[in-house]
Amino acid sequence: MRTVIEPYRIKSVERIKITTEAERVKQLEQAKYNVFKLPAAEVMIDLLTDSGTGAMSDEQWGAMMVADESYAFAKSYYKLEKQIKHIFGYKYFLPVHQGRAAEKILFSNVLSDILPNGKYKNAGANRHILSNTHFDTTRANIEFNNGTAVDLLTNEGLNPASLAPFKGNMDIEKMRNYIKKIGRENIPLCMLTITNNSNGGQPVSMANIKAVSEECKKHNIPLFLDACRFAENAYFIKMREEGYQNKSIVSICQEMFSYSDGCTFSAKKDAIVNMGGILAMNNATLYEQCKNILIITEGFESYGGLAGRDLEAMAQGLVEVVEESYLHHRIHSVNYLGTTLQKMGIPLVQPIGGHAVYVDVTKFLPHIEASQFPGIALVCALYQKGGIRACEIGSVMFGYQDASNNFIPSPMELVRLAIPRRVYTQSHIDYVIETFEAIQKITKTLRGYKMTKSEVLLRHFTAEFTQV
């Protein structure tokens, strides 16, 4: 059949407030043109993120009702452990409230030295974490601990128009050269982001995961995966990589994780829950060190800042996310939005990613220079015209001022339309498409923005702007 139907039925609905353009103009002004500050009730279609915004299934809600809320090693913990051992295969894991908590705990350890008295001495100033591309919270947690976050994406991954099937890959030659330049002793670990969120949700091939792993082993460097969207990455491997067409999603996931020494995982993505995550690894010493920080900052090792019902929902979500019918619909529904916008002439990062569609704003709004944040111009236009909230992934998120106060723009100026899991119907997506049709007619009238307030880290969450 040509139509890819949703592999679920709707049991419950949430009302959407329909607003006028005049009301939305006022809301933008009050939010200082940062859509993160908009009240969610004033947003009609929310594509800001796919993190924690999915719709949980009846089985997930049912599991929450029978959760064990015991403080230590509840029955719900062991249900989650069973699924994590089955899919991820690591020896040790710690529950956390979300992915950035796992990053904070991990980098607090690997970017510090532990003194004989058990206290930590930060040593991050000389330590570098290599990646295909670090996402915003990963980079922030590295820099917060004085480390250096290094992106070693392939050249084709930096080209939005390239049709290469695995544009999320790490460049092995760049990796070798960087290790030689900086020295293995200054690299406590490497991290592969799957899929690669910052460059269009592009997947990483199994061959590249294996090659990075082999290079890490040569130098005795641990390899961790940022596994937020591991199931989507596995689906792309099944669809695009030779030798995997007849393999199950679970077996592909198991192979991916087998090449690594650990992972951080925001369950708010590919476990389809509103809150949760894990930090997992094979190294017993590192596990003990991470457990100590977890207990201080998050909670006991068997709940990590989560309720038993959260552990239950995560466990069931890990069952559902590797179902091929779910992934088939997920990838194809995002692709529907992307291919339709492409036919309209909207420049996008190609091929279409798994969790989002990324607009190439450099080409869409060529009259707005990077220093005037063209991504913010498009994000504000989407909200004003259609009540749609999207996310800038460009020079607000990744640009910076160098030591001489020169503006260094992001390598790409993108706007991400992140699709929450199992939330919107095709008519909602068609409405997004119609909003782009309206914006296409007024692109030359859109103006850039000046940043009037910002923080040092993760400034896109709280920055304020005025129109140029």
Write phi, then psi, for 149 (nearest 5 degrees): -90, 120
Tokens of 251: 């077996």
Instruction: List phi, psi (to 5°) of 110.
Output: -75, -15
CATH 3.40.640.10 occupies which residues in the chain? Answer: 58-320
By the 8 A CB rule, do 59 and 320 touch?
A: yes
CB 97 within 8 A of CB 276: yes
Render pLDDT for 185-234 as a digit per residue (tens, 0 to 9). Answer: 999 999 999 988 778 889 999 999 999 999 999 999 999 999 999 999 99
Please say if the pLDDT value at position 401 is more than 80.
Answer: no
* CA dist., res. 239 & res. 431, Å (int): 29
- The residues, any chain, with a CB within 8 Å of residue 46's CB and separated by 6 or more, are 40, 53, 388, 389, 420
Query: What would the two tokens of residue 182 be?
Result: 């900086």
Residue range 6-23, pLDDT digits in tens: 898 899 999 999 999 999
Beta strands in 219-362 (DSSP E): 223-226, 262-266, 277-281, 356-360
Least confident of 71-85, 89-103, 391-405: 391-405
Q: How far apart are CA 396 and CA 242, in angstroms?
A: 38
3-class state of residue 262 by DSSP: strand
Classify domain 58-320 by CATH architecture: 3-Layer(aba) Sandwich (3.40)
pLDDT band at 353 (very low <50, low <70, confident <90, very high): confident
3-state secondary structure of 415: strand
Asked if pLDDT for residue 94 goes beyond 90, the answer is yes
Confidence label for 118 from pLDDT (cuts 50, 70 and 90): low
> What is the rounded distance in angstroms from the CA atom of residue 169 to the CA atom of residue 213?
12
Classified as helix, coil or strand, 122 is strand
Residue 116, pLDDT > 70, answer no
Secondary structure (3-state) at 62 = helix
Q: Are the C-beta atoms of residues 261 and 173 closer than 8 Å to each other? A: no
Does residue 250 have a pLDDT over 70?
yes
The proportion of the chain whose per-residue pLDDT surpasses 90, expressed as a percent, equals 81
Q: Give SS3 for 172.
A: helix
Name the band, by pLDDT with cuts 50, 70 and 90, for residue 117. Answer: low
266-270, 300-304, 344-348, 393-397: segment of lowest average pLDDT: 393-397
Which of the four pLDDT bands, split at 50, 70 and 90, describes residue 235? very high
Q: Which helix (H) or strand (E) holds 107?
A: helix 99-110
Phi then psi dihedrals of residue 59, to 5 deg: -70, -35
pLDDT level of residue 409 (50, 70, 90 thresholds):
confident
Q: What pLDDT, on a 0 to 100 scale, did the predictor assign at position 2?
A: 79
Q: Where are the domain boundaries for CATH 3.90.1150.10 in the chain? A: 21-50+323-467
Position 123 scores a pLDDT of 73
Q: What DSSP assignment string belongs to 259-307? A: TSSEEEEEHHHHT--SS-EEEEES-HHHHHHHHHHHHHHT--TTTTT--
The CATH number fitting domain 21-50+323-467, selected from 3.90.1150.10, 1.10.580.10, 2.40.70.10, 3.40.190.10 = 3.90.1150.10
What is the average per-residue pLDDT within 224-249? Answer: 96
pLDDT of residue 312: 97
Residues 245, 238 contacting (CB under 8 angstroms): yes
Q: What is the mean pLDDT of the chain?
A: 93
CA dist., res. 161 & res. 372, Å (int): 23
CA dist., res. 300 & res. 277, Å (int):
14
pLDDT given at position 399: 81
